C-alpha cells in the first residue's frame, strides 16, 4: 500500500469516527437511551472527552474505524510486530477528540493523533525477562544449560537463585502475607513441573513480548525434541501448552456386575539418559545453528527462512502430541511443506526438494525422492479421507516420516545459516532461488525421476494431488 493510499483510507476512517461522535453529540439522557434502543450495537462504544477525564459515546462503526485505523498504521510502521493494535487503538480513543478540537484541519488532526498514539505506545516498550515453567527431562545434571538466548534451569536452582527477587516481590506487595503465599505457591508449582525457561525480549509492547517469549521458548523446546527425536522427547513442552498429555487418571470398568477400578500415571519428562548433556556437547554445530535461529526468533523482524523454520518446528512439535499415526504423518508433512514450498505446490517439486535436503550424495538421491513420495501419499490418504488416521497401515510409514522430517529440519538450520549468517534479511525470492539453483545441479537425475513419476501417475498411483504432474 502506498503512503497516498494509506492516507486516503485513514482520512475515511477519521471521518467515520467524527460521524460516529456527532450521532450522539448534543443528545440528552432520554434521546441517548432511545437511540441505544434502536442501535444496541453502540453500547459501550466510547472515546475520551476533551478533558481526558470523561467519555463520549459514539457508534459501533466509529469504534470499528478506530481499530481499522490502528491496524493500518501498525502495518505501516518499521517493525509492526513490536506493536499491539489494541494499544494503538486505546491511544487513538484517548487523544482523538482533543486533536479534532485543537487542529484546524483533518489531516493535521489525524497526523497528530497517530503520532501521539505511537509515542505513548513506545514509552511502554521496555525490555522484559520471562520465566516459563516447562517439562524437559528428569535428570538432575546439569542444573542449567543454554541454547542461544534461552536459559533452562532446574526448578530448585531457579527458586534458589531468584530468592532476592522473590523477597522484593513480597516487600512490594500490598499484603505481605498474601504475597508470601503466592511466592510459595509459585515455587511449589515450578518444582512440580521441573524446569524453568528464561528469555529476555527486546523492547516492544507487552502483548508482543509475551507472545514472542512463548514462541521462542517453544521453538527452543522443539529444537531439543528435534535433537532427541519424537519417541524420546514426546512430552517436552511449556507447562501451559494446551496439548500436554494427561499425566494421571482413573476410570472404572464393570463386567458382569463386577466393578474394577483402574488408574495410571505417566512420566512427563523426556526419556533420555542422565548423560544427555554430554551427548549434546558432541554436536556443537547443531547447537550453534539452533542458537542462531533462536536469536532471530526474539526479534520483531525475521527472514523468510527463519519464519519458515520456526513454523516447521512447530508442526514437528505438534506431531509429538498426536496419538494416531496417520495424523502424526500429516503434521510431519505440513512441516516439510512449510519448509520447502515457495510457489504453487507440485508433487514432483516437493519430492525433489526433499531429496535435495535429505540426500548425502547422488547414490541415495533417488531413494529420498521416492521416500518423500511415500510419506506425501500417506498424508493424502488421511487428508482426502481415503483411510482413517487410526489405521495400522500408517505404522510402517510413521518412522520414515519422522526420520525424513528430522533430517530436513537439520538441513533447514544449515540453510538458514547459509542465507542469513552475514546479517542478511533474506526474502521468499532468495529461498526460491536457493532451491532452484541447487536443483539445477541435479537435472541429470531429476529428468529421469520426473519421467518415472509420470509413468506412476498414469498407472494410478494412489495419493498425491490429483491433476498435478
Cell of 464: 498425491
pLDDT of residue 242: 58
Is pLDDT above 70 for 253? no
Mean of per-residue pLDDT scores for the chain = 86
Other Cβ atoms closer than 10 A to 443: 10
The average pLDDT across 255-260 equals 52
Residues of the chain with pLDDT > 70, as a percent, come to 89
Between these two residues, 219 and 456, which has the higher pLDDT value?
219
Distance CA 292, CA 413 (A): 9
Is pLDDT above 80 for 17? yes
pLDDT of residue 257: 56
Is pLDDT above 90 for 320? no
Q: Residue 268 — pLDDT band, cuts 50, 70, 90? A: low
The average pLDDT across 327-350 equals 92
Is pLDDT above 60 for 252? no
Is residue 220 a contact partner of residue 132, using CB atoms and an 8 Å limit? no
Other Cβ atoms closer than 10 A to 146: 14
Q: How crowded is the C-beta side of 150, counted as CA atoms within 13 Å?
A: 32
Q: Cell 519458515, residue?
A: 308
pLDDT 10s digits, 353-372: 999 999 988 889 999 999 99
Longest dimension (CA), the chain: 86
Between these two residues, 3 and 253, which has the higher pLDDT value?
3
pLDDT 10s digits, 122-140: 999 988 888 888 888 887 7
Q: Residue 264 — pLDDT band, cuts 50, 70, 90? A: very low
Q: Residue 449 — pLDDT band, cuts 50, 70, 90? A: very high
Q: What angle do CA 42, 48, 51 make, to 5 degrees?
A: 145
> Domain segments of the chain: what residues?
3-123, 126-300, 303-469
Is pLDDT above 60 for 246? no
DSSP string for 205-231: -HHHHHHHHHHHHHHHHHHHHHHH-HH
Amino acid at each position: 500500500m502506498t503512503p497516498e493510499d494509506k492516507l486516503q483510507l485513514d482520512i475515511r476512517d477519521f471521518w467515520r469516527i467524527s460521524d460516529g461522535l456527532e450521532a450522539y453529540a448534543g443528545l440528552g439522557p432520554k434521546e441517548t437511551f432511545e437511540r441505544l434502543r434502536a442501535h444496541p450495537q453502540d453500547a459501550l462504544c466510547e472515546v475520551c472527552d476533551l478533558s481526558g477525564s470523561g467519555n463520549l459515546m459514539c457508534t459501533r462503526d466509529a469504534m470499528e474505524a478506530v481499530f481499522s485505523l490502528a491496524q493500518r498504521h501498525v502495518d505501516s510502521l518499521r517493525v509492526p510486530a513490536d506493536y499491539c493494535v489494541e494499544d494503538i487503538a486505546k491511544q487513538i480513543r484517548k487523544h482523538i477528540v482533543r486533536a479534532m478540537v485543537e487542529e484546524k484541519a483533518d489531516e493535521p488532526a489525524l497526523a497528530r493523533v497517530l503520532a501521539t498514539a505511537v509515542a505513548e505506545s513506545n514509552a511502554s516498550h521496555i525490555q522484559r525477562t520471562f520465566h516459563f515453567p516447562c517439562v524437559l527431562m528428569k535428570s538432575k545434571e546439569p542444573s542449567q544449560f543454554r541454547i542461544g538466548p534461552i536459559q533452562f534451569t532446574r526448578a530448585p536452582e531457579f527458586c534458589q537463585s531468584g530468592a532476592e527477587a522473590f523477597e522484593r516481590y513480597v516487600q512490594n506487595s500490598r499484603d505481605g502475607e498474601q504475597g508470601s503465599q503466592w511466592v510459595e505457591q509459585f515455587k511449589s508449582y515450578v518444582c512440580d513441573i521441573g524446569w524453568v525457561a528464561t528469555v529476555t525480549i527486546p523492547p516492544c509492547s507487552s502483548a508482543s513480548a509475551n507472545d514472542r517469549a512463548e514462541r521462542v521458548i517453544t521453538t527452543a523446546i522443539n529444537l531439543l525434541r528435534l535433537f532427541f527425536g519424537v519417541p524420546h522427547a514426546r512430552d517436552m513442552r511449556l507447562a501451559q501448552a494446551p496439548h500436554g498429555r494427561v499425566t494421571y487418571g482413573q476410570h472404572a470398568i464393570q463386567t458382569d456386575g463386577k466393578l474394577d477400578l483402574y488408574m495410571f500415571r505417566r512420566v512427563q519428562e523426556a526419556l533420555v539418559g542422565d548423560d544427555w548433556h554430554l551427548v549434546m556437547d558432541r554436536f556443537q554445530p547443531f547447537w550453534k545453528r539452533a542458537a542462531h535461529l533462536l536469536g532471530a526468533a526474539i526479534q520483531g523482524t525475521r527472514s523468510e527462512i527463519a519464519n519458515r523454520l520456526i513454523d516447521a518446528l512447530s508442526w514437528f512439535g505438534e506431531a509429538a502430541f498426536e496419538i494416531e499415526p496417520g495424523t502424526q504423518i500429516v503434521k510431519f508433512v505440513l512441516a516439510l511443506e512449510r519448509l520447502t514450498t515457495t510457489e504453487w505446490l507440485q508433487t514432483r517439486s516437493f519430492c525433489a526438494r526433499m531429496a535435495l535436503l535429505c540426500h548425502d550424495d547422488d547414490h541415495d538421491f533417488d531413494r529420498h525422492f521416492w521416500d518423500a513420495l511415500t510419506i506425501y501419499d500417506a498424508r493424502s490418504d488421511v487428508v482426502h479421507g481415503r483411510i482413517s488416521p487410526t489405521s495400522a497401515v500408517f505404522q510402517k510409514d510413521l518412522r520414515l516420516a519422522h526420520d525424513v522430517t528430522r533430517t530436513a529440519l537439520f538441513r533447514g538450520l544449515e540453510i538458514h545459516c547459509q542465507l542469513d549468517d552475514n546479517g542478511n534479511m533474506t526474502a521468499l525470492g532468495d529461498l526460491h532461488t536457493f532451491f532452484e539453483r541447487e536443483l539445477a545441479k541435479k537435472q541429470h537425475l531429476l529428468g529421469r525421476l520426473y519421467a518415472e513419476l509420470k509413468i506412476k501417475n498414469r498407472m494410478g498411483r494412489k495419493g498425491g494431488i490429483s491433476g498435478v504432474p
